[in-house]
Structure 1
Amino acid sequence: MRALRRFAHGHLAVFLMAALFLVSCTTSESPPAPPPRQLTTPLRGITLESLDDLGRSLDLMAASPTPLTVRVVMDTAMQPEEYRDAVARIHDRAQVMVQVVDSEQLTELSTTEVADRTKAALRDLGEWVDVWEIGNEPNGEWAGSGPGEINAKVAAAHDVVAQAGRPTALTLNYWSSPDCYEHAWEDTMRFAHTVSRQPDYVFLSIYETACDPPQHPTAADIAHTLTALGTVFPHARLGIGEVGAQNRSDGRSQDPGLAEKQQIAQCYYGMHNELRAQVGPRFVGGYFWWYFHADAVRGGLWPTLRQLISGLGDDDASESCADSACGAAPAPPPAHG
């Protein structure tokens, strides 16, 4: 709000004009964003990592037989306001989760810059965002030097969103063993205990080929970790925040084929019933396939994802990986997905 000018003479007319000016300034401001929608569960998630071919992406969202939750990744090379049109159009077709800063770009920003970017995103996109991902894979060495630096940025984003009364989400890396990371602080549960905030949703990011040898967690393994996270974050709802097939840009020696992508999708989306049974009512699904644009919009994965997504919540719709590992491609060097 603009500051009123101070006049030397205290005539009544001057004060009336000042009062009218104040009212005018107040009423001309944009009305507050409407309250966020209550998310419907299970979350049937996809991750839109690119706004290229947005029309085609929107067509696939509209063709989904069940409502999607679309996770929009914001690139630091773009300002939040540049996402307005896309997020508004996605909001018309799906629930929306916005990732404030991807883990690989977190080191580019200071804590103050993370807070400022979150404020800008909330201002420019808040009308259409149902939940804000305030931390993505923070327990990865690519996200920063350690919990102190990383958690300060997570807390900064969280506080901006929470003070606005909006839901927050935190996505941690799932690591099955020390073979998956270089530093002790990257361990999933060890890092979780260093987080100083209490987000509304806590998710796991799971990549088999991010470990060497590859990790092949069962539903029972994942449920165990989610249940443990539930004790650290007692008010959070729990789920899977990211799965996918890593490619050469992630450090693999070759790109995965469609069969591998289908196998991974079928495994993790297919765990839904078992995870729901083992974790309990706090489990909300999620999954949020990474590279949706590359793999589903431009690739051939959409029919598989569409079938799996439509089956979530149907007790007989999909196979469970509870009793066996899913299997994956040959081991690449450890890398982020």
Structure 2
Amino acid sequence: MPEKYIILIPQFNDWEALNLLIEKINTDVAHDLLVRTSVLVVDDCSSRDRTEPFPIFKGTGIKVLRLHRNLGHQRAIAIGLSYIATELPCDKVIVMDADGEDAPRDINLLFAKSADLPDTIIFAQRSKRQESFLFQSFYLIYKFVFKILTGKVITFGNFSLVPQRRLQNLVRVSEIWNNYPGGVIRSRIPYDGVPIERAKRLAGSSKMNFVSLILHGLSAISVLIDTTAVRILIFSILMSGFAVAIICVILFLKLIGNATPGWASTLSTTLLIVMMQSFLISLFLVFMVLQYRTQQHFIPAIHYRDFVEGVETIA
């Protein structure tokens, strides 16, 4: 029996770009893949209705999954994956953005890599980006901070291929509700990557501003909050040791009479207060994380139905 594939595309008010993307899927995806592929659009409660019909899709059909409220890109992906896992039997799912920055021609590369690693999630690793210098600078800072706080390297976004076996694992990972790539890293599901250049947006303007970019980065880090909390605690302990060493130097200078009157005691007290505050806050964060582990988590595969308004079959 031939395999079936689904392209999952979350979108919010990006109907024009989405239409152009479907046209590029028709032309750029290999024919033997396209004829076995359908598209599932997750409409993240768009505030604007479609003004133009979808172009004719050369695959097996298009469905639109409408949500009751706007949840954001990452949660729309989690809901779409959960819906596919429970309602739409398929062999592989391709996750890509609606704006065209994930080029349809690269779907062929993801499938080629998946043929070598059939039970592995394949991500598009960004070898070159098209954004402004300022955006790329902040992105490099984000990757550095992510590495320092989590001990992991993140070089990919949402564009990926998920085999059926791993899909059933993935939709039971609560962390994908906050951040899909971070959730995959946290889940320990095997993943690999293919170096791919990021394309340019097909239409409209990006809805990712500076604030939303920071929130997106923090959400990725929060998925690995337990590791982050322990690393912050270790850093706090190291800094406390450094502060103790400075205090010892200050006391030595005071004993040999080289310290300005009042300066040694003031600086030592300040360092001691800062040291204790940082250590206690870090320790409190670790205990909060450990307490969180005992709570019942949101499982996308179970709870996604609460947000689905309906499903529309286009073709």
Structure of greater Rg: 2
Q: Which protein is richer in helix relative to its size?
A: 2
- Normalization by structure 1: what TM-score? 0.21
